[in-house]
Chain A
Amino acid sequence: MSHTILSWAMVFAQICLVLAMALAALRMARGPRAQDRVLALDTLYVNSMLLLMVFGIRTGKVIYFEASLVIGMLGFVATVALAKFLMRGEVIE
């Protein structure tokens, strides 16, 4: 019984996170300005990290957690670089 609840909870979590990624992608497409797109990209990174962790719980494989660590680090560096780029004020939209 409790295992059925657990597997349904995992399905629910995966659906939620995929929907969240889709919404972040929607915001990235809509903009309206560059900073909205950068923030949306950062949200997308965090959500994909969480989704990979749920995959990791589901399969019990360590490789998913390593992948989500790498995604987290890449996302951080990418967002910082983009924010620095916006900071210069030389971006022409």
Chain B
Amino acid sequence: MSSIEHAADLPAWAALAVAFFLVVGAGLTLIGTIGFVRLPTFYERIHAPTLGTSWGTGGVVMASMIFFTVLSTRPVVHEILIGIFVTVTTPVTLMLLARATLHRDRAEGNPDVPGEAPAQVLVEDGAATKAD
């Protein structure tokens, strides 16, 4: 096992923290992707990658921030940018994909998908649910 040369000055607590965040982040990403392969329908599968984009990315970004801040090699601008970028973009892509899938399923008349009810009926439904 080759040790990491540029990390020789890293104190033990920081090395352990970095290792912990790396293992948690990468492990959750893997679990999410396993779920992505195993879950039966598309609407269930859309939940699986969010593990990788929430805690997976968070863990790796945290590990990298601790590593380079403790070593003080460089400012951690990239990590912060990547974290913000993934947090903002993932919901957008997932929502667009989900809406596209709903649209296609409705166009095909898939019975498992809630249909696009006329707005008037839904208003009454909404009011009824609120009154309950």
Over the window 1-37 of chain A, the binary record of Cβ atoms lying under 8 Å from chain B Cβ atoms (1 yes, 0 no) is 1111111111111101101110110110000010110
User: Is chain B's interface secondary structure helix, strand, loop, or mixed overall?
Assistant: helix
Report if A35-B101 is in contact (Cβ < 8 Å); known contacts: A47-B29, A66-B78, A69-B78. yes
User: Is chain A's interface secondary structure helix, strand, loop, or mixed overall?
Assistant: helix
Report if A10-B22 is in contact (Cβ < 8 Å); known contacts: A33-B42, A47-B52. yes
For residue B113, CB closer than 8 A to chain A, the reply is: no
A20 to B34, alpha carbons, bound, how many Å?
7
Over the window 43-72 of chain A, the binary record of Cβ atoms lying under 8 Å from chain B Cβ atoms (1 yes, 0 no) is 100110110011011111010011011001
Q: Name the interface residues of B47-94: CB closer than 8 Å to any CB of A.
A: 49, 52-53, 56-57, 60-61, 63-64, 67-68, 71, 73-74, 78-79, 81-82, 85-86, 89-90, 92-93
What range describes how many residues of B lie at the interface? 35 or more
A50 to B100, alpha carbons, bound, how many Å?
27
Q: Name the interface residues of B7-51: CB closer than 8 Å to any CB of A.
A: 7-8, 10, 12-13, 15-16, 18-20, 22-23, 25-27, 29-30, 32-34, 36-37, 42, 45-46, 49
Report if A43-B49 is in contact (Cβ < 8 Å); known contacts: A69-B78, A86-B104. yes
- Selected from A12, A13, A59, the residue in CB contact (under 8 A) with B60 is A13
A88 to B42, alpha carbons, bound, how many Å?
19
Q: Which residue in chain A gives the minimum CB-CB distance to B19? A: A9
A38 to B49, alpha carbons, bound, how many Å?
12
Chain B residues with a Cβ under 8 A of chain A: 1-4, 6-8, 10, 12-13, 15-16, 18-20, 22-23, 25-27, 29-30, 32-34, 36-37, 42, 45-46, 49, 52-53, 56-57, 60-61, 63-64, 67-68, 71, 73-74, 78-79, 81-82, 85-86, 89-90, 92-93, 96-97, 99-101, 103-104, 107
